[in-house]
Chain A
Amino acid sequence: MLYAGWGHFLLMKTFRQDWLANSKNDLLAGLVVALALIPEAIAFSIIAGVDPKVGLYAAFCIATVSAFVGGRPGMISAATGAMALLMVTLVKDHGLQYLLAATVLTGVLQIVAGWVKLGSLMRFVSRSVITGFVNALAILIFMAQLPELTNVSWHVYAMTAAGLGIIYLFPHITKALPSPLVTIVVLTGIAILLQLDIRTVGDMGQLPDSLPFFLWPEVPLTLETLKIIFPVSATLATVGLLESMMTAAIVDDLTDTPSNKNRECVGQGVANITSGFLGGMAGCAMIGQSVINIKSGGRGRLSTLTAGVFLLLMVVFAGDWVAKIPMAALVAVMIMVSIGTFNWASIRNLREHPKSSSVVMVATVIVVVATHDLAKGVLAGVLLSGFFFAHKVGQILRVRSRTDNEGRVRVYTVTGQVFFASAERFVAAFDYKEVIEKVTIDVSHAHFWDITAVSALDKVVLKFRREATDVEVVGLNEASSTMIDKFAMHDKDGGDDLLLGGH
């Protein structure tokens, strides 16, 4: 009883800290974020090829739900570009209902990932891959704006330029008003006043006219459907978790507070399931918006909740006005987001950083931009960094030798790491043509990591034996000797036949 009471007490404490400790700043920051989220959610719906309504409902659902169940207070999750890009083909080929089903399945997969604690796999994603991911994301967001900027009248260019001008210069006048909001209001005003014939949000599809309501995705519950949506959902789940984990790490750094990564995985899943059932698309954490939130003073869960709720209220009750926003204003906001997301320092660092890191970063970017799939980019990056690491560690191997006992014995001293990447160098380091009675291989300062290393040692021993040279292996340290005991053959009868026989 006492324990339960104490738990209740602690729960109250974290509740206070997560929700109420920063309420005034959270409310204001949430409002700022909501205003910046509207253009983004609309833009990402357009990328995915669905009505703006779908992105806006998703933004509302994901922000609201993750405020309660997420593992990182103060992080903003909503409909994102990274996810939108992965849905394009599914929407084009099968329609919205399949997207909603895929969204629900994405959520389920993410919850499973959270339960089996896949979040810890993030440690295999190196810094260079993360930088590449972020840069690729920024480039994709920017590229997605290009259709709005090609084959259009000069009015659009003028409007976009003016929008960017307001976004970056207005904060020098006052920081009390969000400059993206000012941009949208001013550009909409100009477009209406001058009756410019340019595209508006209303031209892009349906806007929300009511609060979202529960609906079951209208897809046949068959294996066929699963075959269609599963690959998309798996990619969505991976990319969503990757971006969410990265964003959580960024927010951790910025606020100097820890987060619960596995709870965040589950939270993302619950949010996506909710979104799918309420007619929204899949989403994840947003780097740009989370930075805006922290910058505006948001720290607690209340900021995320405020962002979601205000977003929906504004869109539902000012829908007619939202429809009149010129696309040029949205493009300006999205260009700001891509510029703010891109890691510009990484370009400067290209020359200073080790070549392998730069190659990993650039390769990640190239693969993503070529395939429009962040998951493939990250996979390429992780593989490459694995190769480079193995290569580097493989260099840490030295074999030195000297003769002993008046030229009867040669002693080889091996130091360093012997594994698949260095096994070949290890084998080549011995002189098999030397005419000598006995060879001693001292591996007391070496580590044998895998079967490749063990079979390399076997090979060396057998090669010497073929030359009628006695071999003695000394100083197998603890780690190496356990490996040898398990896998080696040379100290067992008939080892020679097994390894070299039959060739």
Chain B
Amino acid sequence: MIFENKVLACVDQSRFADDVTDYAAWAAQHMDAPLELLHVIDRHLEQGSGKDHSGAIGFDAQEHLLVELSEADKALTLTAREQGRVFLNRLRQRALTAGAQVVDVRQRHGELEDTIAEQESGVRLLVLGRRGESAQTTQRDLGRNVERIVRTVHQPILAVTERFKAPERVLFAFDGSALTRRGVEMVAGSPLLVGLPMHVLMCGAQSKEAAKQLDWAQATLEKVGFVVQVALQPGDPERVIANAVHTRGIDLLIMGAYSHSPLRKLLMGSKTADLLRSAKVPTLLLR
């Protein structure tokens, strides 16, 4: 309520938290927006402890069990709360050192996606790690929360990778759709990327329509002072974009995300997820 248009960074207690904080601080600094670090304590109420299989119930079994269970929950919550507080404060210091102006912290109980859905109002940019606590141990490219969160929110999302490096060369994966056209306007209207060289890449065969779209994107971006290079390349978008990222030394990718329903994704696979996996740079996802 106090902070309008804030940058919201989702952190969990994994080694990726520092990078998320760095990127969020960078974004907040460039956008001149307040930064809030959000830590969600997942309580797993749906899981039991399962230590007692005696199957016996004695006097006032129900009351005793209630006391026992609530004590256990309390102990867990207390530890998690204190740990989270210390952790968030460390990140707050880090963000302030990195140059963010106003940094606030918040801890919430519940599920990450529900929490973000509740907190979304007043958020201008959401920053989260591509991988987090759950992906730390597995070798998955993409944390299991990423897609769920991206589908939940309606604001642009910065999905960051490990090891912070201030973005210097930006690639805009443009496809002429309403979503990416809005993205172009948004980038043009935002102070976040001002002054950075911008590559606008469109995949597909040469056509009048495509050229017109690209011209429009170039004009829109150049009008506000971007140095723009446009390209239209045929081929499979995933490979073309990944290739471009690699050869041109891109360190920030912008693209539309999950414009199709989950059901279609189940059947056809998701372009977004494939791209996120193959392009190993921070990605600004447009919603």
The minimal Cβ–Cβ distance linking B80 to chain A, given in whole angstroms, is 15
Instruction: Given A179-B55, A254-B69, A256-B73, check contact A4 B261 (CB 8 Å).
Output: yes
A residues within 8 A CB of B151?
6, 9
How far does the alpha carbon of A26 sit from the alpha carbon of B151 in the complex, in Å? 31
Flag whether A326 is at the interface (Cβ < 8 A).
Answer: no
CB-defined interface of A412-438 with B at 8 Å, one 1/0 digit per residue? 000000000000000000000000000
**Is the pair B51, A32 in contact by a Cβ cutoff of 8 Å?**
no
Flag whether B99 is at the interface (Cβ < 8 A).
Answer: no
The minimal Cβ–Cβ distance linking B287 to chain A, given in whole angstroms, is 13
CB-defined interface of A37-64 with B at 8 Å, one 1/0 digit per residue? 0000000000000000000000000000
How far does the alpha carbon of A2 sit from the alpha carbon of B65 in the complex, in Å? 44
**Is the pair B262, A8 in contact by a Cβ cutoff of 8 Å?**
yes
Stretch at the interface among B41-49, B131-139, B213-221, B276-284: B41-49
A residues within 8 A CB of B65?
254, 291, 294-295
B residues within 8 A CB of A32?
53, 55
B residues within 8 A CB of A341?
57, 61
How far does the alpha carbon of A295 sit from the alpha carbon of B50 in the complex, in Å? 7
Number of interface residues, chain A, beta carbon within 8 A = 58
**Is the pair B45, A257 in contact by a Cβ cutoff of 8 Å?**
yes
Instruction: Given A8-B263, A339-B58, check contact A296 B47 (CB 8 Å).
Output: no
CB-defined interface of B70-81 with A at 8 Å, one 1/0 digit per residue? 100100000000
How far does the alpha carbon of A179 sit from the alpha carbon of B52 in the complex, in Å? 11
**Is the pair B59, A339 in contact by a Cβ cutoff of 8 Å?**
yes
Which chain B residues (16-72) contact chain A, with CB distance < 8 Å? 44-63, 65-66, 69-70
**Is the pair A340, B46 in contact by a Cβ cutoff of 8 Å?**
no
Flag whether B264 is at the interface (Cβ < 8 A).
Answer: yes
**Is the pair B56, A179 in contact by a Cβ cutoff of 8 Å?**
yes
**Is the pair B60, A344 in contact by a Cβ cutoff of 8 Å?**
yes
| Residue in B closest to A18 when the chains form the complex, CB atoms | B46
A residues within 8 A CB of B262?
5-6, 8-9
A interface secondary structure, majority:
helix
The minimal Cβ–Cβ distance linking A30 to chain B, given in whole angstroms, is 11
| Residue in A closest to B113 when the chains form the complex, CB atoms | A13
Flag whether A180 is at the interface (Cβ < 8 A).
Answer: yes
Number of A-B pairs, beta carbon distance below 8 Å? 138
A residues within 8 A CB of B62?
250, 254, 287, 291, 340, 343
**Is the pair B57, A178 in contact by a Cβ cutoff of 8 Å?**
no
B residues within 8 A CB of A33?
55
How far does the alpha carbon of A291 sit from the alpha carbon of B48 in the complex, in Å? 13
How far does the alpha carbon of A330 sit from the alpha carbon of B41 in the complex, in Å? 45
How far does the alpha carbon of A339 sit from the alpha carbon of B70 in the complex, in Å? 23
How far does the alpha carbon of A1 sit from the alpha carbon of B65 in the complex, in Å? 46
Flag whether A189 is at the interface (Cβ < 8 A).
Answer: no
Which chain A residues (168-223) contact chain B, with CB distance < 8 Å? 168, 170-171, 175-181
Q: Which of B46, B57, B261, B263 contacts A295 (CB 8 A)?
A: B57
Q: Which of B50, B60, B61, B63 contacts A297 (CB 8 A)?
A: B50
B residues within 8 A CB of A381?
none
Which chain A residues (343-379) contact chain B, with CB distance < 8 Å? 343-345
B residues within 8 A CB of A21?
44, 46-47
| Residue in A closest to B49 when the chains form the complex, CB atoms | A297
How far does the alpha carbon of A256 sit from the alpha carbon of B61 in the complex, in Å? 17
**Is the pair A28, B50 in contact by a Cβ cutoff of 8 Å?**
yes
**Is the pair A175, B53 in contact by a Cβ cutoff of 8 Å?**
yes
**Is the pair B48, A25 in contact by a Cβ cutoff of 8 Å?**
yes
**Is the pair B49, A255 in contact by a Cβ cutoff of 8 Å?**
no
Flag whether A22 is at the interface (Cβ < 8 A).
Answer: yes
Q: Which of A178, A299, A343 contacts B46 (CB 8 A)?
A: A299
How far does the alpha carbon of A32 sit from the alpha carbon of B56 in the complex, in Å? 10
**Is the pair B51, A175 in contact by a Cβ cutoff of 8 Å?**
yes
How far does the alpha carbon of A287 sit from the alpha carbon of B55 in the complex, in Å? 13
Instruction: Given A4-B263, A340-B58, check contact A257 B46 (CB 8 Å).
Output: yes
**Is the pair B54, A171 in contact by a Cβ cutoff of 8 Å?**
yes
Instruction: Given A5-B263, A25-B47, A29-B48, check contact A177 B57 (CB 8 Å).
Output: no
B residues within 8 A CB of A36?
55
Could you show 28 A-B contacts with beta carbons less than 8 Å apart?
A1-B261, A2-B261, A5-B263, A6-B151, A26-B48, A28-B50, A29-B50, A32-B53, A170-B56, A178-B55, A179-B56, A253-B66, A254-B65, A288-B61, A291-B62, A292-B55, A295-B57, A296-B53, A297-B52, A297-B53, A300-B46, A336-B57, A339-B59, A340-B56, A340-B57, A340-B62, A341-B57, A344-B60
